[in-house]
Amino acid sequence: MSKEALENFPDLSKHHSFMKQHMTKEIYAAYYGQKTNNGVTLDHCIQTGIDDPTLDVGMVAGDAESYTKFKDVFFPVVKSYHNGYDPSKDTHPLPDVLDPDAIPDTPLDDKYIISSRMRIGRSIGDFAFAPSCTRRQRREVERIATEALKGLTGEIKGEYHPISGMTPEEEEKLISDHYLFAKPASDFMRNAGMGRDWPDSRGIYYNEGKTFLVWVNEEDHLRIVSMQKGADFKAVFTRFCQGVNQMRKQLKAAGHNFQSSPSLGYLCTCPTNLGTSLRCSVHIKLTKLCEDPRFKDIVKKLRLDKRGTGGEYRASAGPDIFDLSNLDRLGKTESELVQLVYNAVKLLIEMEKRLEAGKSIDDLVPK
């Protein structure tokens, strides 16, 4: 163990992240001075966790190779976050084509569902991820992405709009309407270096109705989104499948692929988004159920995540309105996770109706 490595070991005494739990002086020293082909070091990967002791995960990947180059830290962190999924022995299913018929045609009840949204992150080719990519790499990602986007057809056909070409008013309108991502403001993204050269090579693609969006060069190379008001979950998923399938086809035709691995699925900047990287969410009103003392536990047992309806760092639109999405990303396909959310939300609505009628929900509460 080199003296230089020991002298450079970060002070994690006030940290509580998964990175802190699994980082040892021996592991740090073993990786000290090592770099991926893109020049990413372990220090690059853990910097955001060092700067913010409150983070749950505490590290990001600078490129795809980071996950295997520094696997003695990344793999235990992934296992801790992803409900025991073990990248050293487990494998993630990677279907070639997403099937919209995997979930029922029956819409959820629009008395309770305000809107539905599905999004994934994807990384292109061999380029480094947002925390470590060069200006040249980011511009090449944008070029490849926008060429592929030109080939999208049907309901998802649209146009690409670079942020650098927008007026401040146009940009703010898209942000306030929850279509466009803003310049990184969270400590997590700033500390990870994701705001460098802003807004160079960042932009948004959207169709005429703004129900299908693709973000370019935010936290990941691509964020593919399908969303709409109301409870037609199947319509949102169908459009989502069309977008992902067509985008993959266009990229392959140009000699590019989504970055993936058999053990980690699709590879993204944040370990929380490995696997499918899917976040399938609904904004739902549960006036009676949210007053039940078991509500938080019910949501957890259904493998759902509860957030504010304004987004990850914003409060909810009301005390009885929630953004619910899948907790799991790894080990299941996109279709399986969408089905899970559909079934869970359907059950929550049934509980809400029972409570509205003054009836017990004891038999519906998941064990």
Rounded Cα–Cα distance for residues 216 and 113 (Å): 29
Query: Residue 328's closest CA among 303, 293, 364?
Result: 303
Task: Considering the candidates 117, 223, 239, 248, report the single residue annotated as catalytic.
Answer: 223
Known active-site residue 223: yes
DSSP string, 33-77: T---TT---HHHHHHHHHH-TT-SS----SSHHHHHHTHHHHHHH
User: What is the token pair recorded at 317?
Assistant: 């639109």
Terminal Cα distance for the chain, rounded: 49
User: Which phi and psi angles does 155 have, rounded to 5°?
Assistant: -60, -25
Task: Considering the candidates 171, 218, 219, 334, report the single residue annotated as catalytic.
Answer: 219
> In angstroms, what CA-CA distances link 310 with 28, 284, 313?
38, 13, 8
Task: Considering the candidates 36, 45, 119, 211, report the single residue annotated as catalytic.
Answer: 119
The H or E element containing residue 301 is helix 295-301
Known active-site residue 196: no
Give the position of tokens 């159920």. Answer: 289
Give the position of tokens 């700067």. Answer: 51
Task: Considering the candidates 143, 312, 314, 356, report the single residue annotated as catalytic.
Answer: 312
102-133 burial by CB neighbour count: b if 16+ within 10 A, else e?
bbeeeebeeebbbbbbbbbbbbbbebbbbbbb
Q: How many CB atoms lie within 10 A of CB 27?
A: 15
301-306: list long-range contacts, CB under 8 Å, 24+ apart. 301/366, 301/367, 302/344, 302/347, 302/348, 302/366, 303/327, 303/328, 303/340, 303/344, 304/341, 304/344
Known active-site residue 139: no
Task: Considering the candidates 270, 280, 290, 309, report the single residue annotated as catalytic.
Answer: 270
Known active-site residue 272: yes
Rounded Cα–Cα distance for residues 358 and 124 (Å): 52
Task: Considering the candidates 307, 309, 334, 352, report the single residue annotated as catalytic.
Answer: 307
Known active-site residue 314: no
Known active-site residue 334: no
Rounded Cα–Cα distance for residues 359 and 303 (Å): 25
Task: Considering the candidates 272, 276, 309, 333, report the single residue annotated as catalytic.
Answer: 272
Known active-site residue 239: no
Known active-site residue 279: yes
Beta bridge partners of 281: 117, 325
Do the Cβ atoms of 306 and 323 come closer than 8 Å?
yes
Task: Considering the candidates 117, 122, 279, 329, report the single residue annotated as catalytic.
Answer: 279
Instruction: Return the active site residues.
Output: 119, 219, 223, 270, 272, 279, 307, 312
